[in-house]
């Protein structure tokens, strides 16, 4: 059971927008930066968003992140079939002194 | 270019031991914390352990505390994970990742550990 809660799956049509939520608590999301990772089938995870809303070099601005209180959201616009992947949120839990990941959300582009 | 290459995975019997290594290149290894993250077959990501740049701070998930030991050799640009008393539930792909605050910014390709009799 993950400390961070994500929906198991989301889906949308090509060209549309989707959001993925990540819910936590004051000891993790509420007081630490959130990151988002994309894991394409059969590959290692890749950083998409760090420090709540920053994109590493090379990540298109179709991907965005936000945080409010103890929840964070990943947004993806202009969906492409190549965006089909598992998406994970991650952060540090200050009370547990441990890293935490959400359970992951499978994105299907219909 | 940042590169992280894990090695040392394989098949081990329950109760056995294994030492994973992660060779880093393309960045100043001694300036960054490092993480181990694992992924059981068909499951999500699980944080395993983190070590600060100078090894002053070390953290473990409760699921591995007392059985796994993280270490690093900054002179060799290498990260290690000594895994003892292995259990079936430790079966997973183990990734090393460069740490930046609460973020794992770069990931290796992973090494598979299978614990089975």
Which residues does A42 contact at the CB level (< 8 Å), separation at least 6?
A: none
B110 contacts in chain A (CB < 8 Å): 44
A5 contacts in chain B (CB < 8 Å): none
- In eight-state DSSP terms, residue A41 is T
Selecting from A98, A102, A103 the residue whose C-beta is nearest the C-beta of B61 gives: A98
Q: Where are the alpha helices (DSSP H) in chain A?
A: none
pLDDT at A2 exceeding the cut of 90? no
Quote the pLDDT of residue B55. 96
**Is A41 an interface residue toward B (CB < 8 Å)?**
no
Per-residue model confidence as pLDDT tens digits over A57-94: 999 999 999 999 999 999 999 999 999 999 999 999 99
**Is A99 an interface residue toward B (CB < 8 Å)?**
yes
Q: Closest Cα of chain A to B95: distance in Å?
A: 8
Label residue B101 by pLDDT band (50, 70, 90). confident
Mean pLDDT of B17-22: 98
Put simply, the answer to whether B44 touches A47 (Cβ < 8 Å) is: no
- Three-state DSSP at A31 gives helix
| DSSP per residue, A14-76 | TT--EEEEEE--TTTGGGS--EEEEE-TTS--EEEEBTTTB--TT--TTEEEEEETTEEEEEE
* B2/A33 Cα distance (integer angstroms): 23
Selecting from A44, A47, A92 the residue whose C-beta is nearest the C-beta of B105 gives: A47
B105 contacts in chain A (CB < 8 Å): 47, 50, 56
* B63/B47 Cα distance (integer angstroms): 10
């Amino acid at each position: 059971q993950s400390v961070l809660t994500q929906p198991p799956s989301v889906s949308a049509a090509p060209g549309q927008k989707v959001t993925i939520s990540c819910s936590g608590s004051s000891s993790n999301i509420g007081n630490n930066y959130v990151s988002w990772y994309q894991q394409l089938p059969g590959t290692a995870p890749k950083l998409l968003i760090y420090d709540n809303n920053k994109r590493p070099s090379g990540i298109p601005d179709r991907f965005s992140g936000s945080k409010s209180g103890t929840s964070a959201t990943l947004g993806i616009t202009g969906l492409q079939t190549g965006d089909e992947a598992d998406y994970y949120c991650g952060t540090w839990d200050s009370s547990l002194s441990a890293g935490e990941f959400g359970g992951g959300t499978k994105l299907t582009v219909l | 270019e940042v590169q992280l290459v894990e090695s040392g995975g394989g098949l081990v019997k329950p109760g056995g031991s294994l030492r994973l290594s992660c060779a880093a290149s393309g960045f100043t290894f001694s300036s960054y914390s490092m993480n181990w993250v694992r992924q059981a077959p068909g499951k999500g990501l699980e944080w395993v352990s983190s070590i600060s740049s100078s090894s002053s701070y070390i953290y473990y998930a409760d699921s591995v505390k007392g059985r796994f030991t993280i270490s690093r050799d900054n002179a060799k640009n290498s990260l290690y994970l000594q895994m003892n008393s292995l259990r079936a539930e430790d079966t997973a792909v183990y990734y090393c990742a460069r740490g930046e605050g609460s973020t794992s910014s770069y990931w290796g390709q992973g090494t598979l550990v299978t614990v089975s009799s």
